[in-house]
Amino acid sequence: MKNLEDYTQKQIYDGFNEVLHDNDIWPRYKSFFDNKVNNETYDNKVEFMRTMFNLGGPLNVNGTRFLNQRDREKIQDNYAELFINKTNNAIMEIIGKDGVPDETGMSGGMINFM
């Protein structure tokens, strides 16, 4: 099976639990989940999960279509930076900037835009 849609919910739970209880694998991935996801008391509920994404290109902004990612690269970088800052500010308004984790373990200090 190659697609998530090909798996049953039980297969997904079983696969995740296998990783969760593998002391060689889990330490590499546990920072992607809230602190209630652990191999001692996990109840198949995740409150939050870290997400990473790459911005795609070339951009098409305000009617300007760039030919590729190198076409007016500085301008595209500026648009990307504006988007990242706007997104970062919106998230910080929701979870705060203080770096103090809430009851789930999530804090503004965990937000990282590269």
Domain that holds residue 91: 53-114
Residues 20 and 5 occupy one common structural domain? yes
pLDDT tens digits, the chain, 114 residues: what are they?
678 889 998 998 899 889 999 999 998 888 888 888 887 877 777 777 777 777 777 788 889 899 988 899 999 999 988 988 888 788 777 776 666 766 666 666 666 554
Check residue 114 and give its pLDDT.
46
Residues 31 and 63 occupy one common structural domain? no
Residues 58 and 114 occupy one common structural domain? yes
Report which residue type is found at 106. M
Residues 61 and 108 occupy one common structural domain? yes
Q: How many residues does the chain have?
A: 114
Residues 33 and 2 occupy one common structural domain? yes
d(CA 102, CA 95): 9
Check residue 75 and give its pLDDT.
92
Check residue 74 and give its pLDDT.
93
| H, E, C per residue of the chain | CCCHHHCCHHHHHHHHHHHHCCCCCHHHHHHHECCCCCCCCCCCCCCCECCCCCCCCCCEECCEECCCCCCCHHHHHHHHHHHHHHHHHHHHHHHCCCCCCCCCCCCHHHCCCC
Residues 82 and 113 occupy one common structural domain? yes
Residues 16 and 46 occupy one common structural domain? yes
Residues 112 and 68 occupy one common structural domain? yes
pTM score of the predicted model = 0.48
Residues 59 and 25 occupy one common structural domain? no
Check residue 4 and give its pLDDT.
83
Check residue 99 and give its pLDDT.
64
Residues 46 and 60 occupy one common structural domain? no
